[in-house]
Every structure is written in structure tokens, then in C-alpha cells.
């Protein structure tokens, strides 16, 4: 598919989706429709990782205010939700690379990813409260990523925080220098890309299987994935065999 506002590429077990509506990557309804399609493409590509990045001086300044009007808001919310439903529906790990502002819907998009690497010039915030609305995805997400008081402070104040502060709040995995951002992202991805793609996806699936459950119910669901899915893969057998033979495993591509 040809996109106007999104770029995609794939290789070495990594599917890359790039927001390409510089300078601010403001999310319009047509751009969000393209993003849904691009994420669906990435889910089906070989490998266990998806990278979500952006061109321009901002990751994304959020959803176009013009698409919040009464005649468009239902359509806007529908496609906006489909972005996150697509992301939530994959066991592939999704990594956000944030070099610049991630505000409003752009902040929700970045923080909904499984892992976030940010440059030291990145900022994060949900300023919707200042224009009389609230961020639906962030209302669900932030209390699950940080403490309730911190989440409510961000939601109710609209405060914009630095990458370092976001890291302190547990919203960001790593902050890297802006002048070597591409190298920093590559280094961050390296420790995941050397792992088995299929085991990466099953590990994320197992981690999610235990969420919201007590231990007995959660470990039962996780053990089922371990015994019925993980141990049926060639990579699990290869990894264990390689360890005993004191050699590096050779993972299968998928």
C-alpha cells in the first residue's frame, strides 16, 4: 500500500513504521487511517519487534483539533481507538523512538508502546484539560504505568514533562542524547534483536496473560503458554540445547 503520511520498512527482524507529516506529525483522520493500516502490516511482517518512530521536530503534537468538532469527533474517536486496538492485539513488542514533543494523542501513542526510548530533548504531556476535554487512552493507560497520584497530576494539570522526568515516573525506559539519537535507538534495540523472535512474542504474551489476575489464575495462564506454545517451538529446544553445548543459539526466522 502507498501511504501519504506514513513510511514503512522491514528487515533484520524489525518492522519500522514512521510518522511522516513533519514538522509536528499532527494526527488527522486520514493519517490515522494510514497508521492503522501500517501497524496491521507491521504485525504481519517477519520478526518479533516493531519500531514506531517519526520524522520532523516532534514525535507527534497530537490529534488535529479540527477533527474534534461535532461533525467529526465520532469518526476521530473510532479511528483513534483502532490504532490502539491494533497495537494491543499483537504479541510483538512495540518500541517507540521519541525525539521531540509527544503531546496529547502523540503522547498516548508513544506511551502505549511496550518500550520507549527518548532523546534528552523529548517532552511528554497530556494538555487536553486546557481545552476542555480529556485524553481517553491516557485515562486508561497512565494509572497503569505510574502511581495513581502521579497519573492524576498529569491528567488534571496538563503538565508537560521532560524525558528525564518521564523516566523517573516510569514512562520511559531510556533517555539518550539527541545528537546521537539514531545510534542510541540502535543500541537500545540490540539487546532485544539478538533474542529469538518467536520467544520474544511469547514472552510478551505470557506477561500480559498474568495482568489483572491473582497469582493462582495468572500462573496457570502463563504455564499454559509455556507448556503448550513455548515448548513446542524449535527455538526453545535450540536455546536449551545451545546452552548445554556451550555455544550461541541459532534462532529461526519467522
Catalytic residue set: 108, 128
For residue 17, how far is the Cα from the chain centroid?
11
CB 52 within 8 A of CB 97: yes
Cβ 21 vs Cβ 5: under 8 Å: yes
Q: Return the HEC string of 25-73.
A: CCECHHHHHHHHHHHHHHHHCCCCEEEEEECCCEEECCECHHHHCCCCH
Q: Which residues have C-beta within 8 Å of that of residue 90, sequence separation ≥ 6?
A: 43, 50
What is the end-to-end Cα distance of the chain in Å, rounded? 22
Residue 40 · residue 92 · CB < 8 Å? no
Amino acid at each position: 500500500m502507498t501511504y501519504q503520511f506514513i513510511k514503512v520498512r522491514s528487515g533484520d527482524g524489525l518492522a519500522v513504521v514512521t510518522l511522516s507529516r513533519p514538522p509536528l506529525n499532527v494526527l488527522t483522520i486520514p493519517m490515522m487511517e494510514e497508521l492503522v493500516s501500517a501497524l496491521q502490516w507491521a504485525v504481519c511482517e517477519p520478526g518479533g519487534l516493531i519500531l514506531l518512530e517519526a520524522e520532523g521536530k516532534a514525535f507527534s503534537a497530537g490529534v488535529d483539533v479540527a477533527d474534534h468538532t461535532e461533525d467529526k469527533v465520532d469518526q476521530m474517536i473510532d479511528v483513534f481507538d483502532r490504532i490502539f486496538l491494533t497495537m494491543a492485539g499483537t504479541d510483538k513488542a512495540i518500541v517507540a523512538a521519541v525525539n521531540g514533543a509527544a503531546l496529547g494523542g502523540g503522547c498516548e501513542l508513544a506511551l502505549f508502546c511496550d518500550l520507549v526510548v527518548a532523546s534528552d530533548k523529548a517532552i511528554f504531556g497530556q494538555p487536553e484539560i486546557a481545552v476542555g476535554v480529556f485524553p481517553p487512552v491516557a485515562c486508561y493507560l497512565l494509572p497503569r504505568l505510574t502511581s495513581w497520584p502521579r497519573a492524576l497530576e498529569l491528567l488534571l494539570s496538563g503538565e508537560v514533562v521532560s524525558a528525564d522526568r518521564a523516566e523517573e515516573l516510569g514512562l520511559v525506559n531510556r533517555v539518550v542524547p539527541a545528537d546521537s539519537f539514531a545510534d542510541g535507538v540502535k543500541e537500545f534495540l540490540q539487546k532485544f534483536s539478538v533474542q529469538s523472535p518467536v520467544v520474544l512474542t511469547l514472552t510478551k504474551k505470557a506477561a500480559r496473560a498474568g495482568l489483572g489476575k491473582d497469582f493462582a489464575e495468572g500462573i496457570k495462564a502463563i504455564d499454559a503458554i509455556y507448556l503448550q506454545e513455548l515448548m513446542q517451538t524449535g527455538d526453545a529446544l535450540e536455546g536449551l540445547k545451545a546452552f548445554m553445548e556451550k555455544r550461541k543459539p541459532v534462532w529461526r526466522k519467522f
